[in-house]
Amino acid sequence: MSAAMSRKLRSRLSLIAFSAFILIFNLGPILWGILGSLRPREEIMRFPPQPLPSSLSLEHYAAIAESGFLGAARNSLIYAAITVVVALVAGSIAAYALDRLRFAGKAVVMFLVIAGIPLASGAAALIVPSYLYMTSLGLSDTPWVLPLVYIAYNLPTAVWVLKGALGGLSRELDEAAAIDGAGRLRTLFEILLPLCKPAIGAAALFCFVGAWNEFVAGSVLVDNPDLRPVQVSIYQNMGYFGRDWGPLLAAATLAILPIIAAFLVFGRLLIAGLTKGAVKG
Amino acid sequence: MAHISFENVSKSYSTLNVIRDINLDIHDGEMLILVGPSGCGKSTLLRMIAGLESVSSGAIRIDDRVVNDLDPRDRDIAMVFQSYALYPHKTVLENITFGLRMRRMAGDEILRRAKQASMALGLDAYLDRYPRQLSGGQRQRVAMGRALVREPKAFLFDEPLSNLDAQLRVQMRMEIRALQQKLGVTSVYVTHDQIEAMTMGDKIAVMNRGGIEQIGTPLDIYDRPANEFVATFIGSPMINLLDAEVRGDGRSAVTPGGLVLPTGTAALSPGEKVRIGIRPEHVRLGDDGAPGIVEAVEQTGLDTLVLVRTSGTAMRVLIRERRYMERGQKVLLSLPPADMHVFSSDTGARR
Ligand SMILES: Nc1ncnc2c1ncn2[C@@H]1O[C@H](COP(=O)(O)OP(=O)(O)O)[C@@H](O)[C@H]1O
Ligand SMILES: [Mg+2]
């Protein structure tokens, strides 16, 4: 084996080792959590920790099923689904306007959209004004309030991502469609958006994960246990079950599943775009 | 089928005048070629017919109806783009029929037309394919098919062949012309390629800097260019242009180097400064005439292009046969008076 080849091999091996380390470092807590949720209660906090549970049990899952977790999960799924649908539809129309039309104040609108993006992740700063606003509209503690707020938080990101994708599409597509007799909305939904699948996937993921993981607004804007989102429910389980980590880990495990599912669904759009998106004339 | 006319049409982007006071009539069933150098405003003019660009002043009429403010879809025209602008996520069939669907045509009529067009263009085997699975030539045909099925009042073509290789270009330009003549649909065809211009149109409009320099049949324009610009733009190899001064007899002119050129029938006054144009194929190498020396020889296989220096000027000479010549060889040039084009030195206009 030549020196160059062995050097190449060594650098590749160290790259693999490094990646494996990062992977374990990241996935370790999640794996520990999942395993923990399946352990018998008395094993969870045992020291020294056992790598594998002595037996698997679903007792913690049974416990959270009785505590209202499933209802909260269903609420959050609905909130997130509404957020994704509305943010994509409204976001793509807004993105089209910002990219393809000329109108007064466009630069200002675009600036506001960009400025709105960081607010989606730092939503705590918005909670007091949001609370006051929603209360004055009589919306707090109603089924509408959380979807509304989540849409507002996530819309700027969706607009920005979709505008970037639309901007990459040739104007001649619009023009060909216009000559073919398609109106603006038809052009957007039938010609342009099908060519933006990766961006749609990305925007949908952002919105879904944003809505699913949101905690602050969910804990402030609704009181009714029937309207409670999943993250708030998990937090309340912490108090409800005291130091009982089993049900908490079970709830956290379940809370990850929809995110994985979202990645499987929307991530497919992302990948599809990466591999076959480039359809140049 | 339609009659399209421009009346004092201008277009500017803020301060930039890209189309200047155009008057133009395109008759029913005619194929007009817009030709000119890159950036002269051909596409802009075409897109104004389509409704993709606004009109700053003047009127565009289709069948005597002013269409300045009409949406593209209400003008009943079809356009073939340079990039083809096919819908990448739609199959060939879907691409071709999209415009018909938008017009809410009945399903069986859509299919009938799609079939007809795909037969005419040899696309029937590809109807289920996506554009990315087609060759450049096939994509070009799909773009044509999308226009054909519409059975519109007019076809607009914006350099539709410029992305094809030379052979395919020759084939397609014949096919397009044959199809246009068979259907008798009014067409406007933009190109910067003068061979396409010469071969495809009933009429040519030569454009320069946003204006039309000359309109006429291809041979008209070739034989009687209205000015220096048209003379140099149309014709390959390029016309020879020589500065000269009209002699006392008013029937010939002399270059600063002393070459005497007959000026034919133009009415010229002695002492006038002119530019004389003579096409390379009109210069004869023969037994008498002005002496010259061969500077370069290009063989195309079909004909021979010779660069001859005579009285201090270099003259392109095209010989319609294979001729073996050498650099430094002495030749005699004869210049038939009937083939001379005389242009004013000041304005460039034909005298
Ligand atoms: N949107 C625009 N804004 C400003 N100038 C433009 C625009 N579109 C075209 N032009 C200018 O108009 C002129 C004519 O363009 P075009 O019609 O595309 O030329 P051609 O098709 O003959 O090459 C060019 O000089 C071009 O720079
Ligand atoms: Mg052009």
CA of B228 to the centre of ligand 1 (A): 24
- Which tens digits make up the pLDDT trace of B27-38? 999 999 999 999
If one compares A57 and B311, the residue with the highest pLDDT of the two is B311
ipTM attached to this prediction: 0.89
Domain locations in chain A as residue ranges: 71-245
A window 129-158, beta carbon within 8 A of B: none
**DSSP-assigned states of every residue in A79-143:** HHHHHHHHHHHHHHHHHHHHHH---TTHHHHHHHHHHHHHHHH-GGGGHHHHHHHHHHTT-TTST
Q: How confident is the model at residue A55 (pLDDT cuts 50, 70, 90)?
A: confident
**Three-class secondary structure of residue B244 per DSSP:** strand
Q: How confident is the model at residue A109 (pLDDT cuts 50, 70, 90)?
A: very high
Q: Centre a 10 Å sphere on the Cβ of residue B330 and count the other Cβ atoms it contains.
A: 9
Mean pLDDT, rounded, for A200-211: 93
Identify which of B89, B102, B130 has the shortest CB distance to residue A180.
Answer: B102
The percentage of chain B sitting over the pLDDT mark of 70, rounded to a whole number, equals 99
Element at B341 (helix H, strand E):
strand B341-344
Best of B44, B56, B82, B206 for a ligand 1 pocket test (most atoms within 8 Å of beta carbon) = B44
Phi, psi of B10 (to 5 degrees): -130, 160
**Is A194 in Cβ contact with B89 (below 8 Å)?**
yes
Question: Best substitution site from B9, B12, B14, B16 to test ligand 1's pocket, by max atoms within 8 Å of Cβ?
Answer: B16
pLDDT in tens, B291-309: 999 999 999 888 999 999 9
Of the candidates B73, B77, B83, the beta carbon closest to that of A281 is on B83
- Is residue A169 pLDDT above 50, yes or no? yes
Q: What is the pLDDT of residue A122?
A: 62
Please list, in sequence order, all residues whose beta carbon lies within 8 angstroms of the beta carbon of residue B209, skipping any fewer than 6 positions away.
B20, B40, B41
Burial B306-322 (b: 16+ CB within 10 A, else e): bbbebbebebbbbbeee
Reported pTM: 0.86
Residues of B with CB under 8 A from a CB of A: 47, 50-52, 71-73, 77-79, 81, 83-89, 98-99, 102-103, 130-132, 139, 146, 150, 163
Q: Which residue has the higher pLDDT, A201 or A41?
A: A201
Q: Tokens for B25, please give them.
A: 């009539």
Residue with tokens 């292009």: B305
Per-residue pLDDT reduced to its tens digit, B111-143: 999 999 999 999 999 999 999 999 999 999 999
pLDDT in tens, A127-164: 888 899 999 999 999 999 999 999 999 999 999 999 99
**Ligand 1 atom closest to residue B159's alpha carbon, by position in its atom list:** 21
Q: What pLDDT, on a 0 to 100 scale, did the predictor assign at position A280?
A: 41
What is the distance in angstroms between the Cα of B131 and the nearest Cα belonging to chain A? 8
A17 alpha carbon to ligand 2 midpoint, in Å? 55
Q: Do the Cβ atoms of B239 and B278 come closer than 8 Å?
A: yes
Mutate to test the interface with B, among A100, A179, A184, A185 (most CBs of B within 10 A): A179
- Does any CB of chain B come closer than 8 Å to the CB of residue A169? no
Rounded CA separation B33/B186 (Å): 11
Looking at residue A100, its pLDDT comes to: 96
In terms of CATH architecture, what is A71-245? Answer: Orthogonal Bundle (1.10)
d(CA B290, CA B278): 15
What pLDDT, on the 0 to 100 scale, is given for residue A273? 61
- Nearest residue in chain A measured CA to CA from B138: A281
Domains in chain B (CATH in brackets) are: 4-233 (3.40.50.300), 240-344 (2.40.50.140)
Chain A hits for B98, CB-CB cut-off 8 Å, are 177, 180, 182
Residue B348 pLDDT: 93
Residue of B nearest to A175 (CA): B52
Distance CA B296, CA A191 (A): 55
A281 has a pLDDT exceeding 60: no
How far apart are the C-alpha atoms of A5 and A2, rounded to whole Å?
Answer: 5
The Cα–Cα gap between A170 and A168 comes to 7
Residue B98 is nearest to which of A170, A180, A276, comparing CB atoms? A180
Q: How far apart are CA B22 and CA B29, in angstroms?
A: 21
Structure tokens at A101: 């039309």
* Nearest C-alpha neighbor of B154 from the set A179, A253, A71, A93: A179
H or E stretch at B319: strand B313-319
* Closest Cα in chain A, distance from residue B180 (Å): 19
pLDDT at A1: 58
